[in-house]
């Protein structure tokens, strides 16, 4: 089963950063919708989502290779750097529930990209 899943994901991946990633985008939209749903259904709990950012992994490394760049040149962060948003949400005080946080631990919109360092989303 895992091998079958890997083959399907591989077939959806492109070799450049600008390509289409339908399976990836749909999975993120579903995870975000589920976060909002869980937060509404469990008002006594704090339930949020976050992104680790653009992390060097087996999934992203081929993008750098295809562009003849190193992961660092592509702007990829280490897995250690990518843990900051998750640690913030589990150990910090995010100030709300049903929200999405960027890799810089700042509230971000669910539906569009907010660059690290941009002002927090307030909508």
* Residue 38 resides in a domain: yes
Phi/psi for 107 (5° steps) reads: -60, 135
Assign 3-state DSSP to the chain and report helix, strand, coil percentages, each to 5.
40, 5, 55
Host domain of residue 77: 23-108
* Residue 63 resides in a domain: yes
Q: Which pLDDT does position 106 carry in this prediction? A: 94
* Residue 52 resides in a domain: yes
* Residue 40 resides in a domain: yes
pLDDT tens readout for residues 80-98:
999 999 999 999 888 899 9
* pLDDT < 70: residue spans in the chain: 1-21
pLDDT tens readout for residues 36-51:
999 999 999 999 999 9
Give the number of other CB atoms < 10 A from CB of residue 81: 14
User: Please, is 11 exposed, middle or buried when counting C-beta atoms within 10 Å of its C-beta (0-12, 13-18, 19+)?
Assistant: exposed
Q: What is the pTM of this model?
A: 0.74
* Residue 115 resides in a domain: no
Q: Which pLDDT does position 24 carry in this prediction? A: 78
Backbone dihedral region of 78: left (phi > 0), alpha (psi from -120 to 50 degrees) or beta?
beta
* Residue 14 resides in a domain: no
Q: How many domains does the chain have?
A: 1
SS3 121: coil
């Amino acid at each position: 089963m895992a091998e079958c899943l890997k083959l399907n994901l591989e077939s959806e991946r492109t070799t450049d950063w600008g390509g289409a990633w339908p399976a990836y985008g749909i999975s993120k939209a579903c995870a975000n919708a589920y976060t909002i749903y869980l937060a509404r259904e469990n008002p006594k709990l704090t339930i949020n989502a976050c992104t680790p950012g653009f992390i060097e992994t087996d999934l992203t490394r081929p993008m750098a290779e295809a562009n003849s760049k190193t992961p660092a040149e592509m702007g990829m962060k280490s897995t250690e750097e990518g843990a900051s948003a998750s640690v913030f949400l589990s150990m910090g005080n995010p100030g709300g529930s049903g929200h999405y946080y960027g890799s810089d631990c700042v509230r971000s919109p669910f539906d569009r990209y907010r660059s690290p360092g941009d002002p927090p989303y307030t909508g």
